[in-house]
Amino acid sequence: MSSQLTLANIRRQLVRLEETIIFALIERAQFCRNPKVYEKGAFPEGCGHESLVGFLLHETEKIHAQMRRYTSPDEHPFFRDLPEPVLLPLRYEHNPLHPNTVNINDRIRDAYEQDIVPLICRDGDDQQYGSSAVCDVALLQSLSKRIHYGKFVAESKFRSHPETYNSLIRAADDTGLLQALTDQEVESQVLKRVERKATLYCAELRNAGGDHDHPVDPQAVVAVYANWIVPCTKLVQVQYLRQRLPDARRSVDPK
């Protein structure tokens, strides 16, 4: 099996991404919620019909696409109208995933703007729009990467128990798939580890900065994992497996 698909290696990547996400949440929580940056058309002079965050995300993806970011199987863009890479393609050892079109970034962006930001930031508007939006883009990119890593998890699990998954996929049994994919023990370990890390990092920060910094609440970080990251990762797994069989490809909407 490709080394990218051993569960130990996948888990190591997911654990490593926890720091990236927790650090990014802490960075965003420095600023107020600033709802204006998510409002479409709020800055017509620069961002047209997009929101400020949408504009910055789009512009950032255009540059990153040129640097071939989205040729990597673990990266998924939020926008579709991106330029071609200007760097020569990297030869990935071998993309271990089955061809698929799964991309739930629209859902991630909605959840982020509507639920996650209000959870981690103080209410209000501090006018730090650019700084907030720069943090938002970094966070959206990390969340997307973490959540779409579900494809590797699903592929690995599929290869370990092809019979089980084959029959569930053929029966289009999403509930059965979800049950087969769920490992309650591992999920609760993830949440405990995230809580421990978030507590550690936030305490250090509070300690150094006093009360003025409004560091993010560790329980809010756990909630981001429990309510959005874990369920969205499972959604990616189910959607991926639904496209996993050779003959299932025909039903994939090619748009």
Binding site for a copy of itself (CB under 8 A): 12, 15-16, 18-20, 23, 26-27, 30, 43, 45-47, 52, 56, 59-60, 63-64, 66-69, 85-88, 90, 127, 129-131, 133-134, 138, 193, 197, 200-201, 204-205, 208-210, 212-213
Q: Minimum Å distance from CB 90 to a copy of itself?
A: 6
* Whole-number Å distance between alpha carbons of 241 and 244: 5
CB of 61 or CB of 155, closer to a copy of itself: 61
CA distances in angstroms from 141 to 110, 176, 234, listed in the order given: 14, 30, 18
SS3 137: helix
Identify which of residues 212 and 255 has a Cβ nearer to a copy of itself in the complex.
212
- Closer CB to a copy of itself, residue 19 or residue 110? 19
Other CB atoms within 10 A of residue 197 CB = 19
Question: Percentages helix, strand, coil for the chain, rounded to the nearest 5?
Answer: 70, 0, 30
In the complex, least distance from residue 115 CB atom to a copy of itself, rounded to whole angstroms: 24
* Comparison of 7 and 205: residue with beta carbon closer to a copy of itself: 205
Residue 179: CB minimum distance to a copy of itself, A? 28
C-alpha distances out from residue 60 to 67, 88, 94, 136, Å: 11, 19, 27, 12
